[in-house]
Amino acid sequence: MKVVSTIAEFKEARRRIAGSVGFVPTMGYLHEGHLFLARQAKAENDVSVVSIFVNPTQFGPKEDFARYPRDPERDLALLEKERTDLVLMPPVEGMYPPGISTWVDVEGVTKRLEGAARPGHFRGVATVVAKLFNIVEPTRAYFGQKDAQQVVVIQKMVTDLNMNLEVMVVPTQREPDGLAMSSRNVYLNPEERQAAVVLWKSMNLAQGLWQKGERDAEKIRNEMVALIKKEPLAHIDYVSIADPLTLDELSQIKGSALISMAVYVGKTRLIDNMTLGN
């Protein structure tokens, strides 16, 4: 495994690659969800690449950039076990040199859900991912379904800008009790960790209602909200039932629907989602 810390060095290494490249962009503090993506990239391509970069431009002024968990030595040891070929770990000044004034804005699908709750977040995400795509030049890029809106944004950016790669979406990896794997789970104390399962329970409730024939999105949403509110440590940011492509809120579920949510458990903001009728 080769670890590269400058963009120029990575581009030199990239020029020597002849086959397909599978790429997994991460912000580090890797968990099994990231490693599953790394395995997919390794299995389906000649060369696998993982980037580790905590992107400052996707954090709001009151968000947790400074305290976002970091452990690069542990991350590299984990990727070594997965036989990752190349790891890109650029410094902030390498990705955002002084005087940078070019940004990628994906309109429409970024205005709702996470975009409404975190203004500017997806501009930062789209910009850094576009830059990483330009640096890595992947054949395939791998993303987890857990960040469902991010997946929609990246897919639209790739389509709209005619980027020459395939976006591969991998199912959410979960703990045995259903909690979606996330780097932010480390913030939860034992009581909060137990309470966090309410997100998974609420989605299972929604799925059960849908399977029984309920198609009124507001009724399903109300049942989910009522269940989450029974957990005293949980505080809802949003619960959405939307079109999976446009992210427009639905009143009636006629085809498939994306259930997504952001819920604070203690001071930790968790997101999760599930697709009905996929």
Instruction: Give this prediction's pTM.
Output: 0.94
Same domain (yes/no): 86, 153: yes
pLDDT tens readout for residues 47-100? 999 999 999 999 998 888 988 999 999 999 999 999 999 999 999 999 999 999
Question: Would residue 34 show up in a list of annotated catalytic residues for this protein?
Answer: yes
Give which of 65, 71, 132, 68 is closest to 96, Cα–Cα.
132
**Beta-strand relationship, 257-265 and 234-242:** antiparallel
Give the CATH number for residue 7. Answer: 3.40.50.620
Q: Which of these is catalytic: 31, 34, 121, 235?
A: 34
pLDDT tens readout for residues 5-27? 999 999 999 999 999 999 999 99
Domain count, the chain: 2
Range of the domain at 224: 183-273
Same domain (yes/no): 189, 166: no
> Look-up: residue for tokens 């498939």?
256
